[in-house]
Amino acid sequence: MKTNRVVVIGSTNMDMVVKTKHIPVPGETVLGGAFFMNPGGKGANQAVSIARLGGDVIFISKVGNDVFGRQSIQTFEEEGININGVFADKNDPSGVALITVDELGENSIVVASGANLNLTPEDVENYLKKISDVSVILIQLEIPMDTVKYAAQYAASHGIKVILNPAPANSLISELFPLIDIITPNSNEAERLTGIVVKDIVTAKKAAKSIYNQGVKNVVITLGAKGAVLMNDEGFRQIPSNKVEAVDTTAAGDVFNGALSLAIAEGKDLLSAVHFANQAASIAVTRMGAQSSIPYRKELVLDAITKSK
């Protein structure tokens, strides 16, 4: 039995990226620099992260019956991802993300979801019935809420750990909190979920406590260069990140979530898993692109995920 099997249920997009000096404000036109296309989507990025870090990953997603969809499926196959749960939609095109990246590596993203919004609970149910020995189900919010809800309920009822990356933030997920083993908002998403402006460790602690008190077993708020904070029944802890010079933060959160899910699937304790995820994300931000930035296992310091005694 494989102990590091993770099911990722989520989105697939084609990212269209432009580098520019600064992100335009409403009504402003700026001249950008390099343009490139890169496979993306939160679900796809997280699945690729798990595969590159040595995990056994099954991806459930929906793409268009178009060139972007076929290119994405080819990429997944090349990464060693199980794609039997990736469906081609007959009606809508593949999802597309328009991304602007400034000189500090910060980004602004607009997504046209396309076929991602047609991934139904029935799609997920029919495929999950065919597989076994799953340790973790990882979900995000670029697919329909009914599908997210079904996935969380399925995981909870089958004794599978469920990790929710609440991105983009959606206040409707609060009803799912008792089903969630680990939730991983960034500072903006934590603010959306709690109404607390997260600007430092003190406010991050308040936000984490607010989410924890709503029924989530473990709350991990990612803070970019400041690392992450953790709140659970053992209390509150801050986990620092590696200091690096960021070039592009586009997929940092996805890499973090993929790495975290794999470490949990491998039986690591949560604190060690967050250290591991911080390492992976800190490497990703030093590179351009989404999936092109994702590191391989050999690039990480493996001692960081040694299970604590």
CB 250 within 8 A of CB 293: yes
Token pair belonging to 60: 């459930």
Q: Output the CA angle 288-293-294, nearest 5 degrees.
A: 170
How is the beta sheet containing 136-139 ordered, strand by strand?
82-89, 56-64, 5-9, 136-139, 161-164, 182-183, 218-222, 228-232, 235-239
Token look-up 């290119």 returns 71
Distance between alpha carbon 158 and the CA centroid of its chain, in Å? 22
Element (H, E) at 201: helix 201-212
Which H or E run includes 196?
Answer: none
**What is the three-class DSSP state of 88?**
strand
Catalytic residues: 254
